[in-house]
């Protein structure tokens, strides 16, 4: 019997999104590569969206998608949630402005609600993004310890700045020994000092981590980690417990970067799941409901390094002079604690405190359904992750524990599946993780699983391109 011919999914994609392709050609005349962030781009061209509501996005060719990218996890309440929109408008009407440039009541109200869910945050500060939050956390750690080298884990992303843009997606061929990874730059334009001053650690390998940290115990002031790598590869509990112990013993500040996992693994983040109290925590993405915001919080004695009353703004009457600026940890920003954004953040918490359990149940339904479809077609793979974020990995012969394990999976087929899903109205940027929101309905989940069934049949029973 002849095998039915299956079209090349990328050619299909180009045919279905001509307006996106035309838009990107115009955009290239304005912005390098046509985008303002590299992460928004993929070959042959990104989908350009013009409308979003709830769980849906509509592109410039009127194609409708069920959105599982959710702005890389930021939109945990979906697109255009009415309660969030109402909170923003009420803040503007009530306060008469959307920016004071002074302290205001929402900074305290939002802070207290965050402390309720993250008790490790004895004090906190707002930033404008998760990237800014991780930057501030490193400065706080250096001020506290006096040690300026930092350690991060292979495959972990903490923002697009030089200190941490090291060994995020290295070639395994060039990455060195798995027990002692090389520190490799991720970008042009980085000073070579960053690969000397940022030490790369192997994730979920406690023995090797201990050895490296001991070798650099007098230099490393901070260890930053995504407790769930890339949002879907969880740290093993024994590893996390051991890491907490060794950092305490060596006087290193342990920083949990929960920009991806905050609210998405639970309202208390991954630290609640692991029952570990990091010294500092960074948040972003979901806490602002799609608006730019970040938070750094942690131990009082560490956070107090950023208090202006500790430094140059306090007049010493006994000595008739101001304190030296070198005694101050500088952190500032006109938009930090933006009232409109904090109003949105409060509204997101209102929703999630009632509905997050339902989101987690919907996520499990989707993951289990995908796993059933994979088994139906004899595909070795699974939906991997905890909370409301996960990814689909294929041909994983062993448990995925770290970045290198992920590189051994069938990435090419995963990409093909993603493009075929786009053609059936399921949107995840190819090769990215899934994020489920309060807006995803049973109908959305069922439609997604039907699309998966069709795609897997095409890929594993049809003619591959």
Catalytic residue check, 410: no
Task: Name the active-site residue from 59, 67, 162, 257.
Answer: 257
The CA distance from 259 to 226, in Å, is 8
The CA distance from 289 to 346, in Å, is 9
Closest CA to 135 of 262, 263, 218, 224: 224
Task: Name the active-site residue from 56, 260, 285, 299.
Answer: 285
**Strands 64-67 and 56-59, bridge-based pairing:** antiparallel
Catalytic residue check, 285: yes
Run of H or E residues at 270: helix 269-274
The CA distance from 111 to 123, in Å, is 9
Residue 59 token pair = 């592109």
The CA distance from 317 to 379, in Å, is 74
Q: What are phi and psi of 392, to 5 degrees?
A: -105, 120
**Bridge partners, 123 (sequence order):** 298
Task: Find out whether 381 and 374 touch, Cβ atoms under 8 Å.
Answer: yes
What is the C-alpha R_g of the chain?
A: 23
Cis-peptide into 176, omega within 30 deg: no
**Dihedral over alpha carbons 129, 162, 155, 268 (to 10 degrees):** -30
- What number of other Cβ atoms are within 10 A of residue 79's Cβ? 19
DSSP string, 357-394: HHHHHHHHHHHHHHHHHHHHTT--EEEE-STTEEEEEE
The CA distance from 256 to 268, in Å, is 12
Catalytic residue check, 460: no
Task: Name the active-site residue from 13, 72, 157, 452.
Answer: 157
Residues with catalytic annotation?
157, 257, 285
């Amino acid at each position: 019997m002849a095998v039915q011919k299956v079209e090349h999914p990328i050619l299909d994609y180009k045919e279905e999104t001509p307006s996106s392709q035309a838009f990107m050609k115009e955009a290239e005349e304005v912005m390098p590569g046509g985008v303002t962030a590299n992460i928004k781009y993929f070959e042959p061209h990104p989908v350009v969206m013009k409308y979003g509501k709830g769980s849906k996005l509509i592109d410039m060719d009127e194609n409708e998608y069920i959105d599982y990218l959710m702005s890389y996890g930021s939109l945990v309440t979906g697109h255009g949630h009415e309660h969030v929109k109402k909170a923003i408008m009420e803040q503007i009407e009530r306060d008469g402005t959307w920016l004071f440039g002074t302290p205001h009541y929402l900074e305290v109200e939002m802070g207290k609600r965050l402390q309720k869910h993250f008790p490790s945050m004895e004090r906190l500060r707002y930033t404008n993004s998760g990237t800014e939050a991780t930057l501030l956390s490193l400065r706080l750690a250096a001020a506290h310890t006096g040690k300026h080298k930092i350690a991060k884990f292979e495959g972990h992303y903490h923002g697009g700045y030089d200190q941490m843009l090291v060994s995020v997606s290295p070639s395994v061929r060039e990455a060195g020994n798995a027990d002692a990874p090389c520190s490799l730059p991720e970008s042009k334009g980085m000073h070579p000092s960053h690969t000397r001053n940022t030490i790369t650690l192997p994730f979920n390998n406690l023995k090797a981590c201990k050895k490296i940290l001991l070798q650099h115990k007098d230099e490393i002031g901070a260890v930053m980690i995504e407790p769930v790598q890339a949002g879907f590869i969880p740290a093993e509990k024994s590893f996390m417990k051991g890491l907490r112990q060794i950092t305490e013993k060596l006087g290193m500040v342990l920083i949990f970067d929960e920009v991806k996992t905050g609210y998405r693994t639970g309202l208390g983040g991954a630290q609640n799941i692991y029952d570990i109290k990091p010294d500092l925590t960074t948040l972003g993405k979901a806490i602002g409901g799609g608006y730019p915001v970040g938070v750094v919080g942690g131990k009082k004695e560490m956070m107090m390094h950023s208090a202006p009353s500790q430094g140059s703004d306090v007049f010493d009457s006994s000595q008739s002079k101001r304190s030296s600026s070198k005694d101050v940890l500088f952190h500032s920003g006109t938009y930090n604690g933006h009232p409109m954004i904090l109003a949105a953040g409060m509204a997101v918490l209102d929703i999630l405190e009632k509905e997050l359990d339902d989101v987690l149940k919907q996520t499990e339904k989707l993951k289990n359904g995908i796993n059933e479809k994979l088994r139906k077609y004899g595909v070795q793979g699974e939906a991997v992750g905890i909370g409301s974020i996960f990814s689909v990995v294929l041909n994983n012969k062993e448990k995925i524990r770290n970045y290198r394990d992920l590189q051994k999976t069938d990435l090419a087929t995963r990409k093909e599946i993603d493009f075929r899903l786009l053609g059936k109205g399921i949107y995840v940027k190819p090769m990215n993780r899934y994020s489920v929101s309060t807006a995803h309905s049973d109908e959305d989940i069922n439609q997604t699983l039907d699309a998966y069934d069709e795609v897997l049949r095409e890929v594993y029973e049809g003619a591959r391109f």
